[in-house]
Structure 1
């Protein structure tokens, strides 16, 4: 057996594959404060579906992949460790200055002009917990001023007296020569045996003192909570009979052993959303789609990523809690739009989100004390979600409470019927999500019509008919694992280890070829050393050499720019021809990203970092294909179609009973114990051989049955 688990704010999702590709998906309510309880509740539910106990199932599991939001939550909630930072004398304010990026970090685009409302982020290391010590290297790593070890020892003792739990060390140019930082770590551990220490030269060995400092500080800030959580989950699993491999999904699209995750918790900041992206890539390859848009609509947020030619768009810098971290991550854009997004009337206008009712008290229809109307309440009032079949009937929804909340807070203030109010909420949230999709596609130079949308999460299948049609994509796919797709990604992802090195080189300028000045021999040597490090890590993780794949890339930019693009190196050696091809592809990518004619080759080029990623191929069974079957049973119910704007007869199908290639005309609802798929009036849906649902716009543009 193979298990994947993803813990969200509302539900803990689980996917199980057996040796023959048989699939089980389930959900359990997340249990804040005791997340391992929700995990085991999901395991027990999956076990019941196979006629076993939770302990019996765990004893048969050979691999357990886990996506977690613990690091993300710790940053958002600011409940990490009390961390002390030791910096080069004169550079103790690096975290506060932030290259002036702190003003706009994490600020929505529509609020960037609100100068009076800009704020620096709440610090992860208050200034009184920063110590400066005498030491200095130059840009080549040559020692200009030796490290004052006595001063450093005094700094460590002073921070310990302030109650510091963890330490971060970030010296200037340490990525060129890490010796001073290594001496600092040794002294800190002498003063505080067993202390958690993050060195910027190990966590983020790249150019840019602010990014390195923030990454090292966040790594130590997150460590105790993340490590304690991972230890608790693994201990629970082992205690209940699990003897297999336990791995954690990171933000770059791979899984890593717990020991590596504990050493680099900052790489888990977008662990949860990354799972859905990797699950979509794995499935898209089987279906023959190379360009996809992944959309995860949960209870509180809508997460979007772009995959081009089978590869997700990556970023070398990521904002977390108002700070920028320098570790490669899949680019995931998130907005506050989910099933729990609260609808309000503000200045006689209907607004939806970004605040959420969360799991507790949740939407009004949950019956947990929530009184404000949400997107889920609107879906229930419209008849799209059946209150009696939600979560397979395990959780009954209160339709009367949803209608009452909509009537009191939206319909009556705006002079609308409840159905009109609910339809308005749905259209607004779908439009907000479509706007985000335009930003990440058209805003990056991509035509949405060249992509297929993958819709998952608790609310994605319910709403993709709206935001997909609004965007104008030709096809949407609702995966068979959509109700727990991020968990599926944690199960399907390969073991991954990445390492990088700053390697500043300048080429071209004026009329010279851009690759002139880029030393191919030095670049090749750097790649070779990084590859050895990656292969050693794979060996320690027990991956056979023949199962390891390597991806080499470099960070490039035009000279004196501040943002890099990650460009993969082609197969073969890093020869002069390969470097010239790397530069050519950088220019193509630059104009694709920033617009035709934006390239400025006369400025010359800068290579700033080289990177190697190693992937150990996962030995997982593929999903078993589904055999065609007969005509399914069809139910009927009346819904208020939100786009057409009137009540219509709606066909209702059971996902598990659908035969392969059966065509469904909208409006229709396809129900599953963990989700519902809405097919709008002008759309048709089909089930493929692997039980995924595809939705397309009808050629006649019809509006279905009255």
Structure 2
């Protein structure tokens, strides 16, 4: 039976990616076991079942026994992300205040290019993003609340009830988004409308702005609420089916769902606001890096996740993950506090081709995914991918892929890359090396954008490389970005680190309360505002079942100078405790503003103000952060092979180490390959790879040249 109190009790994390589904189980001592299987896009629940079966087999158990001894089960899903990107969401209608029905269509001025590469900004023939609501499905209701929350025009429930019935039936809606002007100041009308929708159409999914995004900014609030409605039905069905399936399979522990903010929430709460699950998988990776880097004392970290489909990057600056308030998906911009993880399409499955315009070698952005996958998978793929290039070069040896459970076909890789080589007029090796180098260049470019463009020097950072393809290519994109030290966290666990991060993530709930308080801050008025935020966040914590005794509450004031709304300045400042709270808060804000934008900026901006308060409730997961990978005793024998190193453009005899063939305190000199169960660490000529007592591997690249530079601007509130 299920028991959380014994050492034979596990915390499980599962992350579904575009190519692979990763699974991690950790015991109370922090020891971990991993599994990796191909994703099943058409039926993700089946992918979860397969991953659990493989994990149980690795542990010498059956699935029912494993789940019965699991006290915590966390999951990161891509259902919401895929629904938006593939335009497979619900039929959504919008209900809003009379006179504001065009807000979503008008967008912001940058709506055509939000989130697009800089080269798209100047294209003459731009297009608008595909609409998220059914064309014409906008119901404007007669009501009005002003910015203070006072009711100016009362809502007529009897009149609206009939309008709602006709509206939902005429447009055949699956979901409605309710977004009224200034509803976050007084939600009475919005609450009334949601109750009416539930009465006239109980099967319709309801998304309300006061629950999803109760913040100033009409357009961003509307986008968040509409996206929540768009992904709501499909997410609700999937999460409900998964919860039932796990319960039937023997899971007694609650199902927790990963959020983009870096924590997990109970499945019921996550299903009510599935917009928070968008990009939750990459957030899980950064959450895992935060736990491991904190235990290792690494304060400046570039977290990089290269999987089969994409390359994701997040930053930890001064020990704090960099957060963002604004999110863009498919050019739709909305506000939601989340870990700032950026992505680019350069993974193992990324397809290479001859560019039709330039005739040059191009890599990406489309991916072969898991179906059909790279050519070497033997599942019908014929286009050359990065993984095929790795096989041609010898960076991946076909017989050890997925711990030998899935052997690759090198002849299919050579055929696919060879066809491209003929088109380009290059040799097979030159083409394969070019594919890897271009892919690494894309990754390094994103690293530079996230560091240099923030005023940070990537050479001041350690680079954590994880995901199935991360340790294979880290030597290339780290060197291109100027980083000297690469950490492969948890050894073989690096390939499933996002699942690890999901397993160790804290239960986290965030509540924001719009409240304007101008400097100089009176402590009494500040305390009144804080009480409101605390009441809201405690109520939210109780609603999701957080134990009051275990709650940790962090408070932040969201601050700017007056009249900076158009500039979108939003600086979260931790609220100090003790006497003179207001004075200390103003001092912290001024110092952080000067740190970000220069000391002169604070002299001309005028009066500072708090425009919102954020309260975060957190219940620690209880899973040890200093986890060590469980691995079999006795390493395999050392071998040699020939590898065409893309950095040297030549074949070199390369040492091969079967899993952890070198001792914990030892090291190997490049060129070498260290073959782990689910990935390979490539050690180029001139580099060394060493192991530490924490199970991490450290790849030391040759020292780059380093000119003198000034102290960087971190952009993180201290």
Q: Identify the TM-score tier after normalising by the shorter chain.
A: over 0.9
Which stretch of the first structure deviates more once superposed, 689-698 or 58-67? 689-698
Do residues 234 (structure 1) and 279 (structure 2) align? Answer: no
Give the whole-Å Cα distance in 2 for the aligned partners of 1:609 and 1:623.
38
Give the whole-Å Cα distance in 1 for the aligned partners of 2:321 and 2:267.
24
DSSP-derived class of the 1:473 partner:
coil
DSSP-derived class of the 1:128 partner:
coil
Partner of 1:511: none
| 1:312-357 alpha-carbon deviations (Å, 9 max, x no partner) | 1111110122212222111111111111111111232111111111
Partner of 1:704: none
Do residues 365 (structure 1) and 376 (structure 2) align? Answer: yes
1:86-165 paired onto structure 2 within 5 Å: 86-116=95-125, 118-161=126-169, 162-165=171-174
Partner of 1:406: 417
Partner of 2:360: 349
Which stretch of the first structure deviates more once superposed, 453-462 or 529-538? 529-538
Q: Would the aligned equivalents of 1:569 and 1:578 in 2 still touch at CA under 8 Å?
A: no
* Alignment RMSD: 2.2
| 1:86-118 alpha-carbon deviations (Å, 9 max, x no partner) | 1111100111111223111221122211132x2
Q: Scaled by the length of structure 2, what TM-score is found?
A: 0.92
Partner of 2:479: 469
CA drift of 1:636 comes to 0.6
Give the whole-Å Cα distance in 1 for the aligned partners of 2:282 and 2:221.
24
| 1:223-265 alpha-carbon deviations (Å, 9 max, x no partner) | 1111111111111111111111210110100000011101111
Give the whole-Å Cα distance in 2 for the aligned partners of 1:229 and 1:589.
45
Partner of 1:616: 619
DSSP-derived class of the 2:314 partner:
strand
CA drift of 1:404 comes to 1.2
Partner of 1:682: 686
Residues 301 and 382 (structure 1 numbering): CA distance in 2 closer, same or farther, change over 3 Å? same
Partner of 2:262: 253
CA drift of 1:212 comes to 1.0
Partner of 1:567: 572
DSSP-derived class of the 1:618 partner:
coil
Q: Would the aligned equivalents of 1:4 and 1:14 in 2 still touch at CA under 8 Å?
A: yes
CA drift of 1:541 comes to 4.5
Partner of 2:555: 552
| Among candidates 643, 665, 671, match of residue 639 of structure 1 | 643
Give the whole-Å Cα distance in 1 for the aligned partners of 2:595 and 2:164.
46
Q: Would the aligned equivalents of 1:629 and 1:660 in 2 still touch at CA under 8 Å?
A: no
1:219-298 paired onto structure 2 within 5 Å: 219-298=228-307
Residues 589 and 318 (structure 1 numbering): CA distance in 2 closer, same or farther, change over 3 Å? farther
Q: Would the aligned equivalents of 2:590 and 2:602 in 1 still touch at CA under 8 Å?
A: no
Partner of 2:665: 661
Give the whole-Å Cα distance in 2 for the aligned partners of 1:190 and 1:626.
54
Partner of 2:593: 587
CA drift of 1:194 comes to 5.0
Q: Would the aligned equivalents of 2:261 and 2:339 in 1 still touch at CA under 8 Å?
A: yes
Partner of 2:387: 376
CA drift of 1:542 comes to 4.6
CA drift of 1:597 comes to 5.9
Give the whole-Å Cα distance in 2 for the aligned partners of 1:585 and 1:204.
29
Residues 374 and 626 (structure 1 numbering): CA distance in 2 closer, same or farther, change over 3 Å? closer
Partner of 1:496: 508
| Among candidates 528, 531, 537, match of residue 534 of structure 1 | 537
| 1:170-215 alpha-carbon deviations (Å, 9 max, x no partner) | 1111111111111111222221235322221221111111111111
Give the whole-Å Cα distance in 2 for the aligned partners of 1:123 and 1:624.
47
| Among candidates 383, 391, 399, match of residue 402 of structure 2 | 391
Q: Would the aligned equivalents of 1:14 and 1:487 in 2 still touch at CA under 8 Å?
A: yes
CA drift of 1:675 comes to 0.9
Do residues 451 (structure 1) and 461 (structure 2) align? Answer: yes
| Among candidates 330, 334, 345, match of residue 343 of structure 2 | 334
CA drift of 1:470 comes to 0.9
Partner of 2:3: none
Do residues 203 (structure 1) and 207 (structure 2) align? Answer: no
CA drift of 1:498 comes to 0.6
Give the whole-Å Cα distance in 1 for the aligned partners of 2:636 and 2:378.
33
| Among candidates 151, 159, 178, match of residue 187 of structure 2 | 178
Do residues 442 (structure 1) and 452 (structure 2) align? Answer: yes
CA drift of 1:426 comes to 0.9
Which stretch of the first structure deviates more once superposed, 366-375 or 252-261? 366-375
Uncovered stretches (5+) of structure 1, i.e. residues with no partner: 507-514, 702-706
Give the whole-Å Cα distance in 2 for the aligned partners of 1:431 and 1:186.
53
Which stretch of the first structure deviates more once superposed, 621-630 or 340-349? 621-630
Give the whole-Å Cα distance in 1 for the aligned partners of 2:665 and 2:130.
53
Residues 630 and 219 (structure 1 numbering): CA distance in 2 closer, same or farther, change over 3 Å? closer
1:508-523 paired onto structure 2 within 5 Å: 515-516=519-520, 518-523=521-526
Residues 628 and 48 (structure 1 numbering): CA distance in 2 closer, same or farther, change over 3 Å? closer
| 1:375-400 alpha-carbon deviations (Å, 9 max, x no partner) | 11111000000011110111111111
Do residues 188 (structure 1) and 197 (structure 2) align? Answer: yes
Partner of 1:649: 653
Q: Would the aligned equivalents of 2:351 and 2:386 in 1 still touch at CA under 8 Å?
A: yes
Partner of 1:509: none
Residues 698 and 664 (structure 1 numbering): CA distance in 2 closer, same or farther, change over 3 Å? farther
